[in-house]
Amino acid sequence: MKLVDAHNLTKTYASGTGTLTALDAVNFSIGAGEFVAIMGPSGSGKTTLMNLVGLLDRPSGGRLILEGEDVTGLSPDRQAGVRNARIGFIFQSYNLLPRSSAIENVELPLVYAGMQRRERRELARRFLSIIGLSGRMDHLPAMLSGGEQQRVAIARAVVNNPALILADEPTGALDSTTGRTVLAIFQKLNTLGKSVLMVTHDEAVARHASRILRIQDGRIVSDAAVEDRIFARDAQREAAGAVS
Amino acid sequence: MNLLESLKIALRSLRANPVRSLLTMLGIIIGVASVVTMVAVGQGAQTQVAEQIRTLGSNVLMVQPGTSRQGGARGESGSGHTLSESDATAISELSLVEAAAPSIRGNVQIVAGNRNWNTTVNGTTTAYFFIREWALAQGRYFSEGEEASAGKVALIGRTVAEQLFGNTEAIGGSIRILQVPFRVIGILDEKGPSGTGRDQDDVVFIPISTAKLRLIGSAHQTNREAVAYILAKARPGEGTEPAERQIADLLRQRHRLQPGEEDDFLVTNPAAAMAAERAATRTIAWLLAAIASVSLLVGGISIMNIMLVSVTERTREIGLRMAVGARRRDIRNQFLIEALCLCLLGGLIGLVFGVAVSIAIARLANWPIFLAPEAMLAAIAFSGAVGIFFGYYPARRAAALEPIECLRSE
Ligand SMILES: Nc1ncnc2c1ncn2[C@@H]1O[C@H](COP(=O)(O)OP(=O)(O)O)[C@@H](O)[C@H]1O
Ligand SMILES: [Mg+2]
């Protein structure tokens, strides 16, 4: 059973004159434990695809199967439950709540999962220290660097133990060193069994994945394993110590 | 997401914009403050009036000399000296009257030992205390013998007792009224302030016979039979009007007034007058409460407005919360609780203001401070209801947003 199965996934937008097809009957699947990069030029439909897979948006056509369950027609609240328990999001702009501390941001999915405060705190604390931010737990996002904010966002994405991690241009706003740290964390999470789906337009970033999906004008034009995969060794070493 | 969590988020977002929150709450603050003040003022006035009616005695009628209501020149009442002691006796024998007591009074200085005090000396009969249901704290009333023989005995009010005797024993003590020594035979129970704010306990009672003999010589009164007023107690029954009519008929007859001729006396029911005043205050209180409600309504609308703004401003936050698993009702409750907090907080601030103003007014008006906990609870509950009512629409709007639209916004 595949983790993600997309059948003729289609998204059209109404535009001034007619309809714009952002995603045109896309078919693909992602197995458990894969690290897939999605590449393509700007406007090709990468973000649209991520939003559909993440149940943030509804497809205009086609079906989406998550772990064997058709989630296309679920009610908004059921979809919220799926996002909460099975998907972790990482955004290019971090999307941390500005008035909440780092640890409170990490706790957020657990809050909606209905976890008790003590347990929640404990878990969030553990993930923040894994990610190397033990000393920043009570900092507001504004007091953290971009890399630190993105690490908080990663901790938030994985704290509820989802099977799938969706990252839309996670390194887009980071310098290359910080970006490598983030990629090292993804690779580590991947070796721990998480499936990662990452959008990027940077070839070098994409090569950290095990497989690359290329899309153009809303269609998948190539789907291949990465031959010369990069392992973010330098950054990995420091991160790995923390992750394991 | 539980309540405590939502509460924390709500308070945090209110704190993030303290000035805006405060301005938003203004309508609620003013509304609740007004409601609390109005209720307190209304009830304060009412309790005061009720208390005054109670201290007056039940079914008490007052007969004063002077022209009737219909008379052109009002304000003459009490100055005409047309009532006599025998009028009082005749009134007391009427079928609808239980008792009547004549009274003459004057303001004099009284002395006890080295202390002196200016007070009212009231010459009357023991019936007076029965009519006014005025019990003794200590001692006894005038005896029949003392009333008949112009005994030099006095009953003193609480205030006079305190002023002249302090902590020392007053019963059996001696006071001098216009150089005449009197023996204190009783101290009256405390009555408190009257309807006009006069201290009812600042008084000395002596038998009317004694008053006429010892005091009137020095006063400007010419008619030794004349009394200042007569108090009567109507028999309990269907109101006091029949007794009032009976007294009026009797006095017209006794004063030999021709049909068509104006009354030379005035029969009034002080309690009824006070009750009318009470009804008026109640009307005013309700009117002001209605105005306060309007300001609560305006407050509610401004809450709704600011919550809509807040939803717009925090669209991205809503999107993020939805992305990590917030259900629609989580978002709705979050904003609803925020509106509720805004209103309850405004209600509390309003309550504090209202209580402060009520106390200030009570002090100024010399009312008992009357703060009804039920009214306060009602005001707070009402402001909460305003929050839920006006917060519901913005909260539902927030909950109905699509996660992707929210995340794309900015
Ligand atoms: N909400 C929208 N309304 C209309 N058109 C949209 C909307 N979102 C995306 N598009 C269009 O869909 C296409 C794909 O967009 P997107 O998935 O964001 O591309 P990418 O992330 O690959 O740059 C683009 O042409 C974009 O203009
Ligand atoms: Mg994009």
What is the tally of structural domains in chain A? 1
| Gap between the Cα atoms of B158 and B187, Å rounded | 7
Hey, whose CA ends up nearest to atom 2 of ligand 1?
Answer: A13
Q: Is A20 in the pocket of ligand 1 (CB under 6 A)?
A: yes
Ligand 2 centre distance from Cα of residue A97 (Å): 21
For residues B153 and B181, state if they share a domain.
yes
Residues (pLDDT < 50) of chain B are 68-80, 218-220
The pTM for the full model equals 0.73
| Gap between the Cα atoms of A109 and A161, Å rounded | 10
For residues B346 and B385, state if they share a domain.
yes
| Gap between the Cα atoms of B155 and B129, Å rounded | 11
For residues B348 and B243, state if they share a domain.
no
B400 touches chain A (CB under 8 A): no
Residue in A81, A95, A100 nearest the CB of B325: A81
Angle at A240 between CA A239 and CA A243, to 5 degrees: 85
Query: For residue B404, which residues of chain A lie inside 8 Å, CB to CB?
Result: 51, 56-57
Q: Render pLDDT for A142-172 as a digit per residue (tens, 0 to 9).
A: 999 999 999 999 999 999 999 999 999 999 8
Determine, yes or no, domain membership for A146. Answer: yes
List the domain range (segments joined by +) for residue A229.
2-239
Q: Cβ B328–A51 below 8 Å, yes or no?
A: no
For residues B362 and B229, state if they share a domain.
no
Determine, yes or no, domain membership for B68. Answer: no
Of A156, A141, A140, nearest to A107 by C-alpha is A156
Determine, yes or no, domain membership for B156. Answer: yes
Ligand 2 centre distance from Cα of residue A56 (Å): 14
- CATH number of the domain that residue A203 is part of: 3.40.50.300
Determine, yes or no, domain membership for A80. Answer: yes
Q: What b-and-e string marks burial along B257-268, b requiring 16 or more CB atoms within 10 Å of the CB?
A: eeeeeebbbbbb
Residue in A76, A81, A97 nearest the CB of B317: A97
Ligand 1 centre distance from Cα of residue B405 (Å): 12
Residue in A51, A83, A95 nearest the CB of B325: A83
3-state SS, chain B, equals CCHHHHHHHHHHHHHHCHHHHHHHHHHHHHHHHHHHHHHHHHHHHHHHHHHHHHHHCCCEEEEEECCCCCCCCCCCCCCCCCCEHHHHHHHHCCCCEEEEEEEEEEEEEEEECCEEEEEEEEEECCHHHHHCCCCEEEECCCCHHHHHCCCCEEEECHHHHHHHHCCCCCCCCEEEECCEEEEEEEEECCCCECCCCCECCCEEEEEHHHHHHHCHHHCCCCCCCECCEEEEEECCCCCCHHHHHHHHHHHHHHCCCCCCCCCCEEEECHHHHHHHHHHHHHHHHHHHHHHHHHHHHHHHHHHHHHHHHHHHHCHHHHHHHHHCCCCHHHHHHHHHHHHHHHHHHHHHHHHHHHHHHHHHHHHHHCCCCCCCHHHHHHHHHHHHHHHHHHHHHHHHHHHCCCHHHHHHCC
Q: H or E segment at A19?
A: strand A19-30
For residues B246 and B293, state if they share a domain.
no
For residues B199 and B222, state if they share a domain.
yes
For residues B232 and B108, state if they share a domain.
yes
In this prediction, residue B295 carries a pLDDT of 86
Site to substitute for ligand 1 among B406, B408, B409, B410, most atoms within 8 A of C-beta: B408
Structure tokens, B261 = 């001729």
Q: Render pLDDT for A176-227 as a digit per residue (tens, 0 to 9).
A: 888 999 999 999 999 999 999 999 989 999 999 999 999 999 999 999 999 9
| Gap between the Cα atoms of A171 and A90, Å rounded | 10
CB B339 within 8 A of CB B385: no
For residues B307 and B390, state if they share a domain.
yes
Ligand 1 centre distance from Cα of residue A50 (Å): 11
What is the tally of structural domains in chain B? 2
Question: With a CB-CB cutoff of 8 Å, which residues 132-191 of chain A face chain B?
Answer: 156, 160
Determine, yes or no, domain membership for B191. Answer: yes
For residues B256 and B279, state if they share a domain.
no
Paired sense of beta strands B60-65 and B265-268, if any: antiparallel
For residues B124 and B232, state if they share a domain.
yes
| Gap between the Cα atoms of B148 and B151, Å rounded | 8
Query: For residue A51, which residues of chain B lie inside 8 Å, CB to CB?
Result: 404
List the domain range (segments joined by +) for residue B154.
81-263
Query: For residue B317, which residues of chain A lie inside 8 Å, CB to CB?
Result: 97
Hey, whose CA ends up nearest to atom 3 of ligand 1?
Answer: A13
Which of B2, B324, B402 best tests the A interface by mutation, with the highest count of A CBs <10 A? B324
Determine, yes or no, domain membership for B60. Answer: no
Determine, yes or no, domain membership for B70. Answer: no
Determine, yes or no, domain membership for A244. Answer: no
In this prediction, residue B71 carries a pLDDT of 42
Determine, yes or no, domain membership for A172. Answer: yes
Atom of ligand 1 nearest to the CA of A44: 22
Q: What b-and-e string marks burial along B63-92, b requiring 16 or more CB atoms within 10 Å of the CB?
A: bbbbbeeeeeeeeebeeebbbbbebbebbb
Hey, whose CA ends up nearest to atom 1 of ligand 1?
Answer: A13
Q: Residue A163 to residues A43, A85, A94, B257: CA-CA distances in angstroms?
A: 28, 8, 20, 109
Q: Is A62 in the pocket of ligand 1 (CB under 6 A)?
A: no
- Of the three residues B240, B263, B286, the one that is the final residue of a domain is B263
Q: How far is B313 from chain A (nearest CA, A)?
A: 13
Determine, yes or no, domain membership for A24. Answer: yes
Task: Tell me which ligand sits closest to the C-alpha of residue A46.
Answer: 1
Q: How far is B325 from chain A (nearest CA, A)?
A: 4
For residues B163 and B241, state if they share a domain.
yes
Residue with tokens 């000393």: A135
In this prediction, residue B77 carries a pLDDT of 41
For residues B215 and B173, state if they share a domain.
yes
Q: Which residue of A has its CA nearest to B10?
A: A99
In this prediction, residue B334 carries a pLDDT of 93
- Of the three residues B228, B263, B298, the one that is the final residue of a domain is B263
In this prediction, residue B79 carries a pLDDT of 44
| Gap between the Cα atoms of B153 and B158, Å rounded | 16
Q: Residue B34 to residues A6, A111, B28, B175, B297: CA-CA distances in angstroms?
A: 62, 40, 10, 51, 13
Q: What average pLDDT does range A96-112 have in this prediction?
A: 95
Of B46, B127, B107, nearest to B362 by C-alpha is B46
Q: Is A19 in the pocket of ligand 1 (CB under 6 A)?
A: no
In this prediction, residue B237 carries a pLDDT of 80
C-beta neighbour count of B121 within 10 angstroms: 24
Hey, whose CA ends up nearest to atom 8 of ligand 1?
Answer: A48
Query: For residue B403, which residues of chain A lie inside 8 Å, CB to CB?
Result: 56-57
- Of the three residues B263, B291, B307, the one that is the final residue of a domain is B263
Question: With a CB-CB cutoff of 8 Å, which residues 34-53 of chain A face chain B?
Answer: 51
| Gap between the Cα atoms of A59 and A79, Å rounded | 13
CB A112 within 8 A of CB B327: yes
Query: Under DSSP, is residue A107 helix (H, G, I), strand (E, B) or coil?
Result: helix
